[in-house]
Chain A
Amino acid sequence: MRISKITATTVTTAALALGLAACGGSEPAKPSEAPQAGGSSAAATPAGKQFAGKELTLWRLGDVNPAAKKYTDALTAAYTEQSGATVKVEWIPWPQVNDKFTAAAAGGAGPDVTEIGNDQVPLWQSQEALEPVTDIVSAGDQAQIPKNLMGLETIDGETYAVPWGGGSRAVLYRTDWFKELNLEVPKTWDELLAAAKKIQEAKGKDVDGFAFNGGSDANHLLGALAWTGGGEYAVKEGDNWVSKVTEPAFKAGFEQYTNLVTSGISSKSRLNQNTTDIRTRFANSKVGMYLTASWDIPGIEQDSKGKIKKDKLAFFPLPAKDGGEAASFFGGNDIAVWGNAKDKDLAKDFVKFATTKEWADRYALEGGLLPVYSDTLAKLAEDPDQAPFAKAFAKAKAFPADPNWTEANETKAVMQNAARQVIEGKATVDEALAAAKKEIETILNQS
């Protein structure tokens, strides 16, 4: 059964992260690595441009920042140069990605190629919205991408998306503020809270010491806290999902999460904010720390009009309650061929081009993600700036691998509502979690 297949691969997902961080370049680089601008397809069509005059629509996810735009412009220009086809780029903000995919799948009007979150692949594969790209990942440069990175992408032996860049999250903070207030990098959760309080005292009541995320990507923060103590959203028992949110381990993480607001470290007036909202406020010096990744840095530089630059920013791993690193969401962005692509050969060719070592590495390094090619990742792990991510990556976990997870996560926003109930004092933690458990089970177990 397909579902059980996915579940099986999730286990690998957690393992793969460990493997990745540990293996650090142990995999020998293959000779095909030589940077040739065209990748393999250039060689395939030496004479004339194969797709001259054709057009391709690419959806990039997230908002436009200079670094992402620069990379995309370079990528599409190089592809046009090589194949003759023009690439039309649309930028889809993260909170709307699933809405746009839904419309594209149902309406039949969508992209030809799209960037896609690795956790979204099972959902859209189950809706028959993605085209298999198994042949791409089994040849050429792409054969070097570790297979265990494709746990979520491989379903019933077919691969539906090519990993483009990996990501785990860490806490972003202002080094200048920490210096000014004589703060040390927090090693435990309590130290983090104390630092957050100090920042608020010094910078004003309207500053969030550590920002609470209750928006569309809230579970990245809640998940990190809950997983650390051994909590789980749901576990597959037999054919059914059983939610574990009422168990003590999850409950402890959930309380840590809601306490961010009830203790006043993050303002109650922004319960719905997602990472993008927090980032805008951070850029305007209204947030001390928040959980994110280095892909936010170009946006912060832009929003603050250059006042907050890279030299004032640094990351540390989210600390667990009693020290050590917390778990992190195992994130990653893939690139996939959309099922309704007008010209599937062209779309596949583009995906192949974009995931060659040259362009995949540039995608990751310029966009603040972890590269999917192991030797590049190994090189990166030596960089002290990236150490927090490598550490977090080692403890990365994923959400329940079920096509219905998106409904619980975004459409019904189950955990966000549970947190709101608790924060507003309408329900106790136990009541809210019991209701959430019931709802998660209903959603995940529907056919």
Chain B
Amino acid sequence: MTDTSTLARGGGRHSSSPGRGSNRRRPARAKGLPNWAVPYVLLIPGLLVIIGLLVYPLIQMAIMSFQKVGVAQVAGKKPATWVGVDNYTSIFESEIFWTALRNTVVFAAIAVPLTLILGTAVGVLLQKLGRKMSLVLIVGLMFAWAVPPVAQGAIWRWLADGERGIINWALNLLPDWLSNLLFGRSDWTGEPWLNDAWSIYMILILCVVWAGIPFVAVSVLAGLKGIPSELYEAARVDGSGAWRTFWKITFPLLKPVFAVLTVLSIIWDFKVFGQLVVLGGQTNREAFNLSMYAVAEAFKAPPKMGSGAAIAVVLTILLLIVTAAYIRQLFKQEEL
């Protein structure tokens, strides 16, 4: 770690690659700055941004969560006052906090696996398809991928509209006996999907999974392309079925891919915001998740930045705990 030599990082993969005669190889030096200083100079802009705009604000956030910060304090008319753990006790006493926490966790627990499973299935499908069909499907996925979160929310709110939404129209198409058998009703006209927290989140899951599939599928496809086809040949000769092949060959080799995809999905789904703002509306507090609750406390009248910060701290800690295993693993196995 303290080694400041300019030798390429110990990439076992390409350390022996140079075809140049090893006798000619010597520690190469360029002109200009001394070697030890170069990385630090290169890092200056990045470090400034990361420390100034991420690390320092994070510390501020933690400090603010123990203060009362209203309009007067933000505007600089009064100094922030220390209130101890008051912000925390008041949010823990609030019913909204526990609903928001439940919404956040349950939503992620359902949406993340669904996105990964369906996305992987589409990725595997992409690999098995012929060239043309595969390209067509990828282009189709790109369309869904390209829709910005707020627009995704708008689209799904429209699809789930009580009277003019396609979802109710499609449910009405089901034969009455089937609909009665499945749901105990046959008339779906005017069914409100966006009133109740659970149905809002159901639509949100559909929306987020739909929008998340393309990224997972394309990543899995790229991973699959990296697996030598001989392995599959061998599996076929052994008479291994598709399911077995997936678990014996594909999954173990793609494990790092899945690890990254899982963590990214967790991060994205834990703090889902744009879609929820549009689907749930800003006044339906039963449908708040922690992100929405934090900004609502901090920025809505009258602003309580202190308790907003306290909620943000809880959300951040939660995310770090959930992803801690992954971070540790990365540090262990990867030569960083």
Whether both chains belong to one complex is answered with yes
- A: residues with CB less than 8 A from B are 95, 98-99, 101-103, 105-108, 123, 127-129, 205-206, 215-216, 267-272, 403-404, 406-407, 410-413, 416-417, 420, 423-424
**Interface pairs (30), CB distance under 8 Å:** A99-B301, A101-B301, A102-B71, A102-B301, A102-B302, A106-B71, A107-B74, A127-B302, A128-B75, A206-B189, A206-B190, A215-B283, A216-B283, A268-B190, A268-B195, A269-B161, A269-B163, A269-B190, A269-B192, A271-B192, A271-B195, A406-B301, A406-B302, A410-B283, A411-B296, A411-B301, A412-B285, A413-B284, A416-B283, A424-B195
Knowing A102-B301, A127-B302, A128-B72, say if A269 contacts B195 (CB, 8 Å).
Answer: yes
* A272 B195 Cβ-Cβ under 8 A: yes
Which chain A residues border B71 with CB–CB below 8 Å? 102, 105-106, 127-129
The interface on chain B, measured as residues whose beta carbon lies within 8 A of the other chain's beta carbons, has a size of: 30
* B75 A108 Cβ-Cβ under 8 A: yes
CB-based nearest B residue for A403: B302
Within 8 A of A (CB), among B186-207: 189-196
Q: Is B303 an interface residue (CB 8 A)?
A: yes
In the bound complex, what is the Cα–Cα distance between A129 and B296 (angstroms)? 20
* B285 A205 Cβ-Cβ under 8 A: no
Secondary structure at the B interface, as helix, strand, loop or mixed, is loop
In the bound complex, what is the Cα–Cα distance between A404 and B304 (angstroms)? 12
In the bound complex, what is the Cα–Cα distance between A52 and B307 (angstroms)? 46
Which chain B residues border A269 with CB–CB below 8 Å? 161-163, 190-195
* A272 B283 Cβ-Cβ under 8 A: yes
Q: Is B36 an interface residue (CB 8 A)?
A: no
Knowing A106-B75, A215-B283, A271-B195, say if A99 contacts B302 (CB, 8 Å).
Answer: no
Within 8 A of A (CB), among B138-190: 161-163, 189-190
The 7 nearest A-B residue pairs measured at CB = A269-B162, A269-B192, A413-B283, A98-B301, A411-B300, A106-B74, A127-B71
In the bound complex, what is the Cα–Cα distance between A61 and B79 (angstroms)? 32
In the bound complex, what is the Cα–Cα distance between A330 and B285 (angstroms)? 27
Within 8 A of A (CB), among B242-297: 281-286, 296
Secondary structure at the A interface, as helix, strand, loop or mixed, is helix
Which chain B residues border A127 with CB–CB below 8 Å? 70-72, 302
Task: Give A436 Cβ to nearest chain B Cβ, in Å.
Answer: 12
In the bound complex, what is the Cα–Cα distance between A105 and B77 (angstroms)? 11
Q: Is B82 an interface residue (CB 8 A)?
A: no
* B299 A102 Cβ-Cβ under 8 A: yes
Of A103, A404, A420, the contact of B284 (CB 8 Å cutoff): A420
* B162 A270 Cβ-Cβ under 8 A: yes
B67-81 CB mask vs A (1 if < 8 Å, else 0) is 000111011010000
Task: Give B283 Cβ to nearest chain A Cβ, in Å.
Answer: 4
Task: Give A259 Cβ to nearest chain B Cβ, in Å.
Answer: 17
CB-based nearest B residue for A406: B301
In the bound complex, what is the Cα–Cα distance between A49 and B302 (angstroms)? 40
CB-based nearest A residue for B165: A269
Which chain A residues border B75 with CB–CB below 8 Å? 105-106, 108, 128
Which chain B residues border A272 with CB–CB below 8 Å? 194-195, 281, 283-284
In the bound complex, what is the Cα–Cα distance between A183 and B301 (angstroms)? 44
Beyond A129-B71, A271-B192, A417-B285, 14 additional contacts (C-beta under 8 Å) are A102-B300, A102-B302, A106-B75, A206-B189, A268-B190, A269-B162, A269-B193, A269-B195, A270-B162, A407-B300, A410-B300, A411-B300, A413-B284, A420-B195
Task: Give A305 Cβ to nearest chain B Cβ, in Å.
Answer: 19
* B300 A99 Cβ-Cβ under 8 A: yes
* B301 A417 Cβ-Cβ under 8 A: no
Of A102, A216, A404, A412, the contact of B303 (CB 8 Å cutoff): A102
Task: Give A269 Cβ to nearest chain B Cβ, in Å.
Answer: 2
* B285 A413 Cβ-Cβ under 8 A: yes
